[in-house]
A and B are shown apart, each in its own frame.
Chain A
Amino acid sequence: MKLLKFGLRFWITVTSILSFLTGWIMLAHAPKPSSTSSGSSTVTTPLPTLEPLRPLSDFAPNDNNVQNQPTFGFQSQNQSRPSRPFFSTGGS
């Protein structure tokens, strides 16, 4: 019985050491990962450029003679379609 226990422990120890060494050797010989800057076939996508945010003052109501009714300026609305001409109606 003692002999069986000794043999089992010896076998486990040896196989563990061999497995460790085998893994070490495999990793040591594995190809290294390529650098992101060195690959000539890498496709680069330009980052989007963001417009600066409009100041909060653009949203404040004007302090004029308009009885505090909310209004908003032409320009800020027209920015949504810059290629369109600016039509307005208000009598002539």
Chain B
Amino acid sequence: MIRSIEFRAMNTTVMLAAEGELAMEGMQATKLYIDECEQRFSRFLPASEVSDLNRSAGEWLSISADLMEMLQLSVKYHKQTNGIFDPTILADLKRVGYDRSMDEIRTNGVTDGSLASNRRSLSSFTEINLDPTNRRVLLPRGMEIDLGGIAKGWIVEKAAHLLRQYVDVCGVSAGGDILFIGQPSDGMDWDVYLEDPRDPTQMLAQLHIPCGAVATSSVMKRSWTHAEVLRHHLIDPRTGEPAETDWLSVTIICPNIIEADVYAKALLIGGWQEALKLLQTNSSATFIAVHSTGNLISSTNYKDYMYEPATDIFLSTGIAS
């Protein structure tokens, strides 16, 4: 029997599921680990490692092995996505209103002070200096980074592997970024429902995942209105503004949750052009995008993971299925 627990962390809903005698014990340990990670990597907490890093710009700072790993992965994906995945958009995020946690913004709205902030410095993320041997980092002066685009995937991966030490079969989901390890004993795949971004209580399709990762980015979830303009948290680093896209959400299915998390954002921001480029370089990834009309756009191999969708589906070749 698969047991599960659900709780709130990282301003989203986290769900753990596990099958085995030590399932509950493992999930309690995993919950503690996720709570601890939030304390370490949230940019909204002044005592976090990320806040320390942002205050240190212009000076070398000793950091933990985990933060070093996250920064190295960020550099890798920054290059792989031609700069579309960019942790240096923090100043832009604050300027468009995302200067406090989303739970606070949902309760109190945005403040005018944050909207008046300046745009970020023009330093590129490639100018960050990493010294893995001595575990030190040097941010260029004026640079602030936000690891929100990668931290959740990284935490899900580590949490799932921690839970795996207690059971053979488990799944960890943080706001829909999900990693499954092992197939349930009944031999059936894991079921994942693809939410309709226009109404999350409805679903557009049912996915079946044997094991591996699923991640979705949406312009609808972390969004707010200011001066009658709808803003969201996915900043296009080429403009410094929330990405303008016809796609409401992008879901990536691939073996690696960090890659799925990063690619989902890159495809949503970059659109068709980036989707085709990324899929050429990574043939193991499947993407499903939801267009503003409600139609689905997908890689040709979507049938490996999806039962019959409730709406029309257009393949990346442009042919309706």
Determine which of B177, B199, B207 lies in contact with A92 in the assembled complex, contact meaning CB atoms within 8 Å: B177
Distance, CA A66 to CA B190, complexed state (A): 28
Known: A66-B199, A74-B193, A83-B2. A91 touches B310 (CB 8 A): no
Check B299 for interface membership: any CB of A closer than 8 A.
no
Say whether A62 faces chain B, with CB atoms less than 8 Å apart.
Answer: yes
Asked if B177 contacts A77 (CB within 8 A), the reply is no
A78 to B193, CA, bound (A): 9
A90 to B221, Cβ gap below 8 A? yes
Determine which of A64, A70, A84, A92 lies in contact with B2 in the assembled complex, contact meaning CB atoms within 8 Å: A84
Let me know if B206 is at the binding interface, CB within 8 A.
Answer: yes
| B294 x A88 contact (CB < 8 A) | no
Residue contact B249 to A87, C-beta cutoff 8 Å: no
Q: How far is B175's CA from A88's CA once the two chains are assembled, in angstroms?
A: 8
A67 (CB) vs chain B CBs: closest residue: B294
Residues of A within 8 A of B207 (CB): 89
| Among candidates A71, A73, A85, A92, residue contacting B176 with C-beta atoms closer than 8 Å | A92
- Which of chain A's residues have a CB closer than 8 A to the CB of B194? 88-90
A12 vs B251: C-alpha distance when bound (angstroms) = 94
Per the bound structure, the CA–CA distance linking A72 and B193 in Å amounts to 11
Question: Judging by beta carbons under 8 Å apart, are A81 and B310 in contact?
Answer: no
**Inter-chain contacts of A65 with B (CB < 8 A):** 198-199
Contacts of A45 in B (CB 8 A): none
Answer whether A87 and B191 are a contact pair too, CB < 8 Å, given A74-B203, A92-B177.
Answer: yes
Query: CA A81 – CA B194 in complex, angstroms?
Result: 17
A84–B217 Cα gap in the complex (Å)? 24
Which B residues touch A69, using CB under 8 A? 196, 204, 293-295, 310-311
| Most interface-central of B177, B193, B195, B295 (chain A CB within 10 A) | B193
A89 closest partner in B (C-beta): B176
* Cross-chain contact A81 with B188 (CB below 8 angstroms): yes
**A91–B191 touching, CB < 8 Å:** no
Given A71-B203, A72-B203, A73-B202: A89 and B193 within 8 A (CB)? yes
**Residue from B11, B15, B202 in contact with A72 in the complex, judged by beta carbons closer than 8 Å:** B202
Q: Mark A43-74, 1 if CB is under 8 A from B, else 0.
A: 00000000000000000001011110111111
Tell me, in angstroms, the Cα distance from A1 to B62 when the chains sit together.
Answer: 137
Contacts known (A72-B310, A90-B218, A92-B12); A77 close to B206, Cβ less than 8 A = yes
Contact B193 A87 (CB under 8 A): yes
Q: Does B48 contact A (CB under 8 A)?
A: no
Contact of B294 among A66, A81, A87 (CB under 8 A): A66
- B199 contacts A90, CB within 8 Å? no
Asked if B216 is at the interface (CB within 8 A of a chain A CB), the reply is: yes
Contact A85 B17 (CB under 8 A): yes
B171 proximal to A (CB < 8 A): yes
How far is it, in angstroms, between the C-alpha of A86 and the C-alpha of B201 when the chains are bound?
13
Decide if B222 is an interface residue (CB 8 Å cutoff): yes
Instruction: Decide: A91 and B218 in contact? CB cutoff 8 A.
Output: yes
Which residues of chain A are near B88, meaning CB under 8 Å?
Answer: none
A62 to B204, CA, bound (A): 13
Q: CB within 8 Å of A: which of B78-94?
A: none
User: Which 3 residue pairs across A and B have the least CB separation, nearest first?
Assistant: A92-B175, A90-B195, A91-B218
Taking A73-B202, A92-B177 as given, write out 12 further A-B residue pairs in contact, using a Cβ cutoff of 8 Å, ordered by the A residue number: A62-B202, A66-B294, A71-B202, A85-B15, A87-B17, A88-B192, A88-B194, A89-B214, A90-B218, A90-B221, A91-B197, A91-B216
